[in-house]
Amino acid sequence: MKNTQKQALGLACVLLFSLTGQVFAASEAKEAKKDATKVEAQAPKKEEVKEDAKEEVKKDLKEDTKKEEAKEEVFKDIKGNWAEKLIAESKGYGIANESKEFQPEKAITRGEFAVGLVQGLNLGLGQRQSKDFKDVKDTDWYAADINIATAHEIIFGRGDGNFDPNATITRQEAFSMLARALDKQKADLAVLDQFKDNKEIDSWAKEACALMVEKKVVKGRPEGFAPKAEISRAEAVQLIHQLAGLK
């Protein structure tokens, strides 16, 4: 009798434990389902993720566009100029001295032209000895490039110890500098006979001017060769670019 009672009690305990386990498991499953539902509710929908991704791409594209525009807009006053692309790509060969305005039609000075020539041809001082000018200080922004140009014997100054860097450069002066950069190549002076004002070219500049015509770096103007006329900054950039193509 006692054994029967013990067996019945044991069986009841087993059933109770089994039922408790099932209830507990069911409760856990229910809670897990609730948590999953909660996470699902908190998680962004696929459409929202796609929209966020699109917005991020748009933002990146806008930033890239701004960077490209900033890169292209080296100078804010060259749009529409005949040499716009060349000036932008070359950054004006340093002629504007880090200014945001290039002033393409402004007459270029001797100092500015020397800077453009040195930077456009990537000339370096190396072991060469430069010449000092009385009117060019070491602190002048164009001083370093003028020193390099004199070391390469591209410029010699006025002959009185001065370079006159702030004076506008004439066509024959510019052509002389350009010709010297071609390592003293010779030219036939007869090519200058086609210009009605060829006699206005100074004797010291004739061969240089003839060489520039032979190399098709320069052409005449409606009035002739115009050796004493000024050169604009835009023209200077084009001349330097053309000369660089011959080096």
> Cα–Cα distance between 10 and 16 in angstroms, integer?
10
- Name the residue with tokens 């699902």: 40
DSSP of 90-144:
HGGGGTTTT-S---TTSBPBHHHHHHHHHHHTT---TTPPP---TT--TTSTTHH
To the question of pTM greater than 0.75 for the whole model, the response is: no
Task: Please list the pLDDT of the chain residue by residue as tens digits (247 residues).
Answer: 445 554 544 454 443 444 444 544 455 555 545 555 554 555 555 555 556 655 665 556 656 554 454 445 789 999 999 999 999 999 999 999 999 999 999 999 999 999 999 999 999 887 777 888 999 999 999 999 999 999 999 999 998 999 999 999 999 999 999 999 998 788 999 999 999 999 999 999 999 999 999 999 998 999 999 999 999 999 999 999 999 998 7
- Name the residue with tokens 């070219």: 201
User: How far are the Cα atoms of 39, 75, 154, 182 from residue 239, in angstroms, in the given order?
Assistant: 70, 19, 15, 13
CA dihedral 139, 143, 145, 149 (to 10 degrees): -160
> Cα–Cα distance between 55 and 61 in angstroms, integer?
10
CA dihedral 43, 48, 49, 52 (to 10 degrees): -130
